[in-house]
Amino acid sequence: MEKVQAKVQATEVDGRKVYSVRAFNAGVAGYIERLPTIWVEGEVTELRRQERWASVFLTLKDPEDGACLPVQMQRTQFDALRLELRDGERVHVYGRPELYAQRGEFKLKALSIERYGLGAHLAALEQLKRTLAAEGLFLAERKRPLPRIPRLIGLVTGNDAAAKRDVLTAITTRFPPAHVLVAETYVQGPRAVTSIVAALAELCERGVDVVILARGGGSFEDLLPFSDERVVRAVAASPVPVVSAVGHEQDTPLCDLAADVRASTPSVAGRLVVPDLNELRAALARAHTGLAAGARRVCERRAERLGVTHERLSRAPLLALERRRARLDGTRGRLVALSPRGTLERGYAIVRAAGEVVKNPPPAGTGLEVEVAAGSFGARVE
């Protein structure tokens, strides 16, 4: 929304135009507001910040001739930059000039602040990021799963860092039996890169199953070692999975992209590398209950089968006897039906002559012996 400037009025006094201080300041302020936003370089001096103040105040000093420029910035914007500026640091301030008309105070209203040379750092990091990405160091398919229950956990962190305490507390709280091997090293400054690379290699040689690379929050410059190409390549080449927990949630050093897992904070990293002991015990209890129930069911089924088998075995002799008796009865019936005695019972007779069965009619006067069902009698052929 465009600000409407009130017209500055002058008063005629003895034939001349005379402006009041208020009108003059308002007019100058109106002209200054038309100026564009610009970048101004200088050294930070007289930095003043209070929690109860809505703004942060500082003075930009020209290191060549000492010229000064007051700067004001909203405290929330200043804090979001997390620059941790100190007097004497060289910065670039982006803002627009303003004149506080009530007091005639000129200042630069800052919209952003960067340390001197930050733009070059960002450009170099972006180029390195593209190079490493083209080599495949950040591909998702390179990411390895973390071991479920690591035998030995490696931790690379500062020697007096709160990050170390946060990681160890999270690990021991979640899984008290865990074993952690700590490699304390420089995490900022010119010696940090070589120290971090050496610590990673040492932990891997000592047989860790997973490595946590941890550092708390800090300024952009403080976190630069974790975007160094040597550190990024060491993380990518690690023979064991690496969890990167560097800075805060909004920080993304290049080692985060090369690591197998990125944790938003060191505490989260500690919780990621170990299981929850209480959950493990609960799962074991559920498994024990399930195995016991399964064993009972198997035993019950086997018992039922044994019962059925026992009953069948107990009935088997009787069934065998009954089948044998039935077969004997059948055989007896067939034998009875086929025996001569059975034939006689049906009204037939057996005729013998001289003890031999008569098959052909004998001569007249031959004596016969006739056998019937009820007995036998003699006869003579006529």
Token digits for 247? 């800075």
Strands 68-74, 105-115: parallel, antiparallel or unpaired by DSSP?
A: parallel
pLDDT tens-digit profile, the chain (382 residues): 344 455 667 777 777 888 888 888 888 888 888 888 999 989 889 999 888 899 999 999 988 888 999 999 999 999 888 777 878 788 899 999 999 888 888 999 999 988 776 666 677 788 889 999 999 999 999 999 999 999 999 999 987 668 899 999 999 999 999 999 999 999 988 889 999 999 999 999 999 999 999 998 777 778 889 999 999 999 999 999 999 999 877 778 899 999 999 998 999 999 999 999 998 888 899 999 899 889 999 998 998 888 888 888 887 788 888 888 888 888 877 777 676 766 777 767 788 888 788 788 888 888 888 777 777 888 888 8
**Alpha-carbon distance 23 to 3, whole Å?**
17
C-alpha distances (whole Å) from 129 to each of 95, 228, 254, 303 are 30, 10, 7, 69
DSSP letter for 84, please.
-
- Contacts (Cβ under 8 Å, ≥6 apart) of 158: 164, 184, 185, 186, 187, 215
Say which CATH architecture domain 11-116 belongs to.
Answer: Beta Barrel (2.40)
Rg (CA), the chain: 54
Q: For residue 6, what pLDDT is reported?
A: 55
Contact 213, 202 (CB under 8 A): no
Q: Which fold has domain 122-278?
A: Rossmann fold (3.40.50)
- Contacts (Cβ under 8 Å, ≥6 apart) of 106: 32, 70, 97, 98, 99, 100
Angle in degrees, CA 17, 20, 26, rounded to 5: 110
**Alpha-carbon distance 71 to 245, whole Å?**
35
Same fold, 11-116 and 122-278: no
Q: For residue 140, what pLDDT is reported?
A: 93
**Alpha-carbon distance 136 to 258, whole Å?**
9
- Interaxial angle between packed helices 162-174 and 266-273, expressed in degrees from 0 to 180 and rounded to the nearest 10: 30
- How many other CB atoms are found less than 10 A from the CB of residue 175? 21
Cα dihedral 172/174/176/177 (nearest 10): -120
Phi-psi region of 172 (alpha: psi -120 to 50; beta: other; left: phi over 0): alpha
* Chain-centroid distance, C-alpha 265: 16
Give the DSSP letter string of 136-186.
TTT-GGG--PPPSS-SSEEEEE-TT-HHHHHHHHHHHHH-TT--EEEEE--
Domain ranges for the chain, please list them.
Answer: 11-116, 122-278, 340-380
The single residue listed with the structure tokens 């040597």 is 230
Q: What global pTM score does this model have?
A: 0.54
331-360 in b/e form (b: 16+ CB < 10 A) is eeeeeeeeeeeeeeeeeeeeeebeeeebee
Q: What are the phi and psi torsion angles at 147 (to 5°)?
A: -65, 140
Q: For residue 7, what pLDDT is reported?
A: 64
Specify the DSSP element, H or E, that contains 48.
strand 38-48
Q: Which residues pair with 68 in a beta bridge?
A: 61
